[in-house]
Structure 1
Amino acid sequence: MASGKNFRQEKRTSTSYVMATATVFLALCLLGAWILSSPSGSRDVKDSQNASVNVNYNLETNRVAESSESFEDSAGDLNSENEEKPQDTPQQNSYKIDSSESETDQKQIPQENNKPREKPKAEKEPEETLGDLDEVTDHKNADEAVQKEDLEAAENKDTEKTNSNSGSDTSSVSSVTSKHKEDADLESDGGEQSDLLIETKEETGTWDTQANESKEEKRKVKAELERKQTVNDQSMEDESDADDTSTYSKKKKKKVGAVYDNDIGQKKENDWALCEFDGAIDYIPCLDNIDAIKALPSTKHYEHRERHCPDPAPTCLVPLPDGYRTPIPWPKSRNEVWYSNVPHPGLISYKKDQNWVKKTNDRLIFPGGGTQFKHGALHYIDFIEESFPKISWGKRTRVILDVGCGVASFGGFIFDRDVLTMSLAPKDEHEAQVQLALERGIPAISSVMGTQRLVFPGNVYDAVHCARCRVPWHIEGGKLLLELNRVLRPGGYFVWSATPVYWTDDEDVEIWKEMEKLTRSICWKLVAKFVDESTGIGAAIFRKPTSNDCYENRNKNFPPMCEEDDSVNAAWYVPLSACIHRIPDEDERGSKWPQSWPSRLTEAPAWLNNFKGVNGKTAADDFMADSEKWQKAVEKSYLEGLGIDWKHIRNVMDMRAVYGGFAAALSSLPVWVMNVVPSDAPDTLPVMFDRGLFGIYHDWCESFSSYPRTYDLLHADHLFSKIKKRCNIKAVIAEVDRLLRPSGWVIVREKSEFIGEMQNYFESLQWEVKMAFSKGTEGLVAVQKTKWRPATSF
């Protein structure tokens, strides 16, 4: 470019020379202007008084509006505009979101800030890191949605900031990608790995899975694969019906090798049908399979209360009870729930003299008493600890299994002592007891101790509790008590508060004698037996051994020790066996008691040092990385960024938990999380119990053992892409709808190509898509369920 001297020369120059020089100068200026305005080389040049830039994205259409107003830099308060994107704006990554803004909110923003501008672009797009994809917020008041951003600092760092905000309507939320100072450290620690949306990779060869741990499962899979090579799908089903008596075997043989056509596309309202049969309101597909139950050769061992899943899995939507209302929030829900949500008078009548539950106007009231808790559940809970201080509620004893829980008042009130209780009861004549427990906000599942193992790992529960339960522990070689022995941690306690402990009639005395004999034979030690004089209720506490010495020194090998290849963790459709699993060796999981709560929540169990993690590092390193990832995701995104009213969130499910990091990140809130480990995923569920959490094994090609409308939030991290070829996704979505309460939330994190598909499904259910976010290979969709149901057929 010519310098200033060319235009201030003292000597006269020729006219042609001057014109040639001017022409060159003009051409250079035009070329420079074109370069500066081009998308690939654009720079944001502003006057010195413009201290910051607000770049607003309409994520529904990828249109960009830029504001020159000065805003306060805040990761929590964002601004969203619906402005037209200039044609020369560079193409951005695809974002989609349901976003709106009221006229009032728009008037609060100066007009000059609403002008669409070209998005400033750095020479090199900054790499996404931990803070970029999950820093998302939503605020109800547009007055709070003000940001300031230091333009000079942004230019010096050569980064971009993207800011957006919803209006006052809580149905509108915003998504943002934002770069922060701390990201530099996070980027150096792993770059792509630090991105919160990147899934935790699973290396199934490192960890066993439930499918591998079960000998029966191995046999079935092998037989099914052999059949697949010689017969078609129909002949496999016929051969299965002829050769196997197991309902589960029949179902699995049909499914092995099947690839479902899950070309989702845009769903229409009439693609969904309403479940229209007696009992559809409370339908649990795997427990209400009438045809399978009728075909059972025997119900002697409660086979009719066990899982018999229909094949194919149902895709109809369960209807709502008349007058369904948003559940009463915790902790008030512990004492009362809406009768219209669980309109079951049977239990009220059946237990009318036992103070379990009463009906008052439009509510069900839970006095906290019951048969066993005459002065309330807390009195009972505290009396046990006063009588036997070593049980140490909430410190040594953190995770409990409550067998025969009734309406789960024990689990509901011991929560105040920092104890987490898995309440378990069958779906039986005690109408809807588990449904009532879940409506109250107390963890519970519908299950029975019949012919199959409980769906938990071995050596995980700190204690097992059984109040007034009528389980015949002593019959058939003590098979049922031996199942408790399998899941009970070495050194753990069995608290038995039943009439044989404190009644003296002939039948109860005889049962107590048999119980003493059985517990001695399995090396349980009676450490306490006491009666509360104020109530007449008593309890006996037994302790499981911490070594194999007692087993090796028994006079009789009865009950026998389990075979070496009988994994203590095998639990998914595994038959009960009357045998004793050995106590783990010193360097194995379960040999040492976890740290006291709450330290055990955040510190990796020592035994993880002996394993390679599912993400390729050591398991201990994986554990810490998983915890840090979810802590940041919850803090930066979930608690404020999605528009979730956490006052109405109590029952949470992590549909594909790995180490329990998501549940741990929510531990400061008054919520509980059901951690689900898929049956074909690395068996990391014992890790969660060791850190003071709990969970269950499950196969998402089947329905879950819970009543409809029992969870407030479902979280699915890279689940659907893993099960798409094996499961009918529409049936899984129907199951999600069944489990979720109206106004409840689903958060799906997936590969980008699945986000649109998941959104289409949720929109077909008339759910409100609060956010659909995609960046690079990863994405997130958050939706809220409505009360919409498809029309009936008549």
Structure 2
Amino acid sequence: MLLWDIVYQTVPIIHWGRQIRVALDVGCGVASFGGYLLDKQVLTMSMAPKDEHEAQIQFALERGIPAILSVIGTQQLVFPDNAFDLIHCARCRVHWDADGGKPLLELNRVLRPGGFFVWSATPVYRDNQRAMVALTESMCWKVVAKTMDSTGIGMVIYQKPENPSCYEKRPQNNPPLCDQNDQHSVSWYTPLRGCISRLPLDKEGKVIKWPVTWPYRLSRLPVSMPSELGVVEQYNADNRRWTALVSDTYLMKLNISWPSVRNIMDMNAGYGGFAAALIDLPYWVMNVVPVHEEDTLNIIYDRGLIGVYHDWCESFNTYPRTYDLLHSSFLFKRLSERCDLIDVGVEIDRIVRPGGYLLVFDTIEMINKLTAILKSLHWSVKIHQAQYLVAQKDLWRPTS
């Protein structure tokens, strides 16, 4: 029996593709967990360490499965607080209790209130089981199921608390709750913290509820969205704009062979409207929220989409030639004020596979600057209506 079926039978409240829509697979291997869950309408961010596992991430992306290079070491993951419905770590060799439990406290930070952590390990890797029990109890995680398969692999399913009452009843404040003033909205070069992230509260002081089930959460107002009228109107207008633009222009009028596309990255995703407009098509989108732009990544996850924080003046944590299409909308003007566009162009060339595309919606001034850079890299470039740039990467490589 497959692990995900064991999870479902062991904990019936875990409904793949309904309540559980966005998941994180830590130490993903070749991303089989995320690959199988795609058919169940679960979008899994498969994550592998940066050391010896780069080829696994390349293999996952070549299979068309979302994946990223990362490691739980000294810095926070590039995901927002309370993002994932479920986190999974199979045959896990991570010492979650190391350094005062900071690795597990980091998982707690990115796990949604009421979310699940599925941890399986062979006996040889369970030397720290007693410490794990003590740590999870101090974090108010409750064990909702335990099981073991025929190969001796044990599995424990934990659930993060849905309200803060347990924290107040602990005999010792260890680990302590994080200071309210120390809550970081953008986890970028942020050190791991030895404290428990506070549960997100609405204006009435109540813990923010779980989003509605998939696929309804894609179109409903995200649970973390500010309730101010202007923000809601801006969000709704953004959705209408991208729905029309994708259906009327991107898919119909631009020189892109969409059947050859699977892996897409939106370089400045905003509210995730571009990805939402593609949801019924056989693509997945890595939504990137630049760290110097408005922080909307929680909203993207609330909608049932995935993404990361990033600074485009630096290299992106992925294997070369792993994306079929990169997309941006009015990103490069502000970016050019902080770094050289030539460096950004070279990074785009590194990420996109041969035959892949860059699609830019921007001013003609920025399009002309990008055209010169891309042509120097031997990309073919076409401009539509003086506002859309479609560039295709060639097979050319520089000679040594």
**Which amino acid is 2:227 matched to?**
N
Asked whether 1:551 is paired with 2:163, we answer no
SS at match of 1:657: coil
2:394 matched residue in structure 1: 786
SS at match of 2:101: helix
1:683 matched residue in structure 2: 295
**Which amino acid is 2:172 matched to?**
K
Query: 2:179 pairs with 563, 588, 592, which one?
Result: 563
Decide whether the 8 Å contact of 2:34 with 2:45 is kept in 1. yes
SS at match of 1:716: strand
Decide whether the 8 Å contact of 1:495 with 1:540 is kept in 2. yes
Decide whether the 8 Å contact of 2:186 with 2:291 is kept in 1. no
| Mapping of residues 381-780 of structure 1, within 5 Å | 381-430=4-53, 432-499=55-122, 503=123, 508=126, 510-533=127-150, 535-587=151-203, 591-611=208-228, 618-774=230-386, 779-780=387-388
Residue 383 of structure 1 and its aligned partner are, at CA, apart by 2.1
Whole-angstrom distance in 2 between the partners of 1:738 and 1:654 = 16
Whole-angstrom distance in 2 between the partners of 1:477 and 1:421 = 28
**Which amino acid is 1:623 matched to?**
Y
Residue 475 of structure 1 and its aligned partner are, at CA, apart by 2.2
More strand by share: 2
**Which amino acid is 1:403 matched to?**
V
CA 467–696 in structure 1, closer or farther in 2 if over 3 Å, else same: same
SS at match of 1:727: coil
SS at match of 2:396: coil
Whole-angstrom distance in 2 between the partners of 1:568 and 1:547 = 20
Residue 581 of structure 1 and its aligned partner are, at CA, apart by 1.4
| Mapping of residues 147-166 of structure 1, within 5 Å | none
Whole-angstrom distance in 2 between the partners of 1:697 and 1:762 = 25
**Which amino acid is 1:554 matched to?**
R
SS at match of 1:462: strand
Whole-angstrom distance in 1 between the partners of 2:201 and 2:6 = 35
- Structure ID, larger Rg: 1
Whole-angstrom distance in 1 between the partners of 2:166 and 2:347 = 47
Cα offsets for 1:185-219 (capped at 9, x unmatched): xxxxxxxxxxxxxxxxxxxxxxxxxxxxxxxxxxx
Cα offsets for 1:733-778 (capped at 9, x unmatched): 000000000110111111222222222222222212233431xxxx
Decide whether the 8 Å contact of 2:254 with 2:384 is kept in 1. no
Whole-angstrom distance in 2 between the partners of 1:589 and 1:552 = 15
Whole-angstrom distance in 2 between the partners of 1:583 and 1:607 = 12
Cα offsets for 1:343-363 (capped at 9, x unmatched): xxxxxxxxxxxxxxxxxxxxx
Cα offsets for 1:539-581 (capped at 9, x unmatched): 2110001111111111011011112211143310011111011
Q: TM-score, normalised by structure 2?
A: 0.96
SS at match of 2:157: strand
Decide whether the 8 Å contact of 2:288 with 2:308 is kept in 1. yes
Flag as ranges the 4+ runs of structure 1 deviating above 4 A.
none
Residue 397 of structure 1 and its aligned partner are, at CA, apart by 0.5
SS at match of 1:496: strand
**Which amino acid is 2:56 matched to?**
Q
Whole-angstrom distance in 2 between the partners of 1:639 and 1:539 = 44
Structure 1 portions without partners, runs of 5+: 1-374, 612-616
Decide whether the 8 Å contact of 1:399 with 1:693 is kept in 2. yes
1:328 matched residue in structure 2: none
CA 607–467 in structure 1, closer or farther in 2 if over 3 Å, else same: closer
| Mapping of residues 68-467 of structure 1, within 5 Å | 379-430=2-53, 432-467=55-90
How many residues are paired up? 399
**Which amino acid is 1:514 matched to?**
A
SS at match of 2:7: helix
Cα offsets for 1:498-534 (capped at 9, x unmatched): 12xxx3x7x73x522221111000000001111234x
SS at match of 2:146: strand
SS at match of 1:572: coil
Whole-angstrom distance in 2 between the partners of 1:659 and 1:575 = 27
Structure 2 portions without partners, runs of 5+: none
Identity %: 52
